[in-house]
Amino acid sequence: MPAQIDQAAYWDRARAVVPRGVSSGHRVGWDQVMVRAEGAHVWDGSGKRYVDYLLSWGPIVLGHCDPRVNQAVTDAMAVCDLTGIGPQYGEVEVAEIICSVMPCADRVAFCTSGTDATMHAAHLARAATGRRKMIKFHGSYHGWSDVVAVGSARADSTPESPMETPNGGGLHPDSLADIILVEWNDEVGVKAAFAEHGPDIAALICEPYIHSFGCVPAKPGFLEMLREQCTANSSVLIFDEIKTGFRSAIGGYQSICGVTPDLTAFGKAVANGFALAGVAGSEALMGYLGAYTGDRATIDGTYNAAPYALAAAKKTLEIMQTEDVFERLYYCGDRVRAGLQAAAYAAGIPVSVVGLGSEWAVYFQPTAPTNFREALRSDGATYMKWHALMVEGGIIQPAFPNGDRRLCAATSDEDIDLTIEVAYKAFAAIA
Ligand code: PMP
C-alpha cells in the first residue's frame, strides 16, 4: 500500500468489496485510512500523523510495530510455523510465564481471540458444574458467541432500554433463557439471582474493572461479594481480563484487587498486537478441558497457540518483566487524566475523566457512572463534536461516546503535552 492514498476513494473501494468497508463493527465513523503505525502514532493516507489512543482497542501496549517484538516473531517464523502436532513452538514458555504472574493460573490454554476465550471459559464452567445458567452484567461486552452476547447492545440503547436483549441480529434469542442479567455494582441484584437460581448457576462472568462502557470500577467489597457468592453456590467465577490483563498489571486486575477468579479469559495486550488469547485457571477446573467427549469441554482450533503470536507474547511479557513498562503506563495515564479534566473544567463543560493506569474514559456528564444505565446518560452529541475537533488536532480516540481509551509505553511526554493543548482548544470551542 502506498504511503499516500486518496482516502475517500479507498473507502469507496472497500465498501464495494467488504460490507460497510470494514471487518469489525467499530471501525466505521472515520474518513481516514491508516497506512502506517509506529510507537504511539498512526499516519493516515494524506500523511497526517496522529497520537493514537485507540491502539486497536487494547492489544498495542508497548507501542505499534515494536521492533523487539517484531524481531522475535521474525526469528520464530524462520524456525517453525504451525505443525498441529503436540505443544506448538513456544507454547510452554509463554504458559509458564503466565502461570507465574497471574494469580488464578495453574494451567493456560490458548486460542486466537477474546470471543474464543470467553466462549471456552463458559463451556468449561458448564462442563465442570453440569449447570446451564450464567450471570453477566448489563452493558458488559464479552465477545460474540451466543453464550455471552446478550445484554450489551450499544448502538440503539438508551438509559431506559430493557437489558434482556441479544447484542445483535442472528444471535440465538433462546440464549437469553440461560443468562441472568444484573446491573454492575448491584449487590442486591447479584444476591437475588443466586438466591433464586443458585443450584443452576454454572458461572458468573465479569470484567473485574469494566472497560465495556468506559472505565467503571467495582464499588468497595463488590468483587469480594461476587467471590463469596460463587464459592457459596459452587459456581465458577470468570474474570474477563481481555482488556485489563497484561495492561492494568502484568498479572491482570486480579493481582491488583486481590480477588482471585476460578477462570480468566485473556487476550489483547498479551502479544502486543498479534492474535493470541486464552483461558487460565485452577488445575481442577482446567482439567475439564478434554476433547470430543460428552462430559469435557473442548478447546480446538487450527490457529490456537500459533508460534508467531507466542513469540510476540514471550517478548512482550519479557519486556514487561524487565523494563518499567507499568510505571510508564501509570505515569502517563495520570498525566493525561489530570490534563483532560483540567481542560474540561477550564471551559466549564461538565465532564468526568476517570480511569486506571493506561486506560481512561471521558464521560460527558458531571459525575462518573457506576453502571451501564448511568453511562448511557452521557451527552453523546457533545462528545462527538469534541471528538471531531480532537481528530482535527491529531488525536485519535473512540468514534462514539463512552468508549475507553488507552495509551502505550511508547507514548511520550510531548504526545501528552500536545493532547492536553488540543483538548483545551477543543473544549473551549464547544463551550
Ligand atoms: N471481552 C472484552 C472485555 C473485550 O473488550 C473484548 C474486545 N473488545 C472481547 C471480550 C472480545 O475480544 P476479541 O475482539 O478479541 O474477540
Does the beta carbon of 143 lie inside 6 Å of ligand 1?
yes
Q: How far is the CA of 265 from the centre of ligand 1 (A)?
A: 9
Integer-rounded Cα radius of gyration of the chain? 21
Q: Does residue 316 contact residue 247 with C-beta atoms inside 8 Å?
A: no
Q: How far is the CA of 270 from the centre of ligand 1 (A)?
A: 13
Cβ neighbors of 185 (< 8 A, separation 6 or more) are 216, 218, 219, 222, 370, 371
Does the beta carbon of 252 lie inside 6 Å of ligand 1?
no
pLDDT at residue 158, rounded to an integer:
84
Please state the atom number of ligand 1 nearest to the C-alpha of residue 116.
Answer: 16
Residue-by-residue pLDDT tens, the chain, 431 positions: 788 999 999 999 999 999 999 999 999 999 999 999 999 999 999 999 999 999 999 999 999 999 999 999 999 999 999 999 999 999 999 999 999 999 999 999 999 999 999 999 999 999 999 999 999 999 999 999 999 999 887 677 888 888 888 899 999 989 999 999 999 999 999 999 999 999 999 999 999 999 999 999 999 999 999 999 999 999 999 999 999 999 999 999 999 999 999 999 999 999 999 999 999 999 999 999 998 888 999 999 999 999 999 999 999 999 999 999 999 999 999 999 999 999 999 999 999 999 999 999 999 999 999 999 999 999 999 999 999 999 999 999 999 999 999 999 999 999 999 999 999 999 999 99
CA angle 85, 296, 310 (to 5 degrees): 35
Q: Residues 178, 141, 91, 101: what is their CA dihedral angle, to the nearest 10 degrees?
A: -100
Does the beta carbon of 178 lie inside 6 Å of ligand 1?
no
pLDDT at residue 326, rounded to an integer:
98
Q: How far is the CA of 212 from the centre of ligand 1 (A)?
A: 9
Q: How far is the CA of 116 from the centre of ligand 1 (A)?
A: 9
Cβ neighbors of 119 (< 8 A, separation 6 or more) are 143, 145, 147, 148
Does the beta carbon of 238 lie inside 6 Å of ligand 1?
no
Q: How far is the CA of 211 from the centre of ligand 1 (A)?
A: 10
Q: How far is the CA of 181 from the centre of ligand 1 (A)?
A: 19
Q: Which pTM does this prediction carry?
A: 0.98
Q: Which domains does the chain have, with CATH numbers?
A: 7-65+324-430 (3.90.1150.10), 67-322 (3.40.640.10)
Rounded CA-CA distance 179/163 in Å is 11
Please state the atom number of ligand 1 nearest to the C-alpha of residue 57.
Answer: 8
Rounded CA-CA distance 13/130 in Å is 49
Nearest CA to ligand 1 atom 12: 114
Does the beta carbon of 113 lie inside 6 Å of ligand 1?
yes
Q: Does residue 356 contact residue 248 with C-beta atoms inside 8 Å?
A: yes
pLDDT at residue 152, rounded to an integer:
84
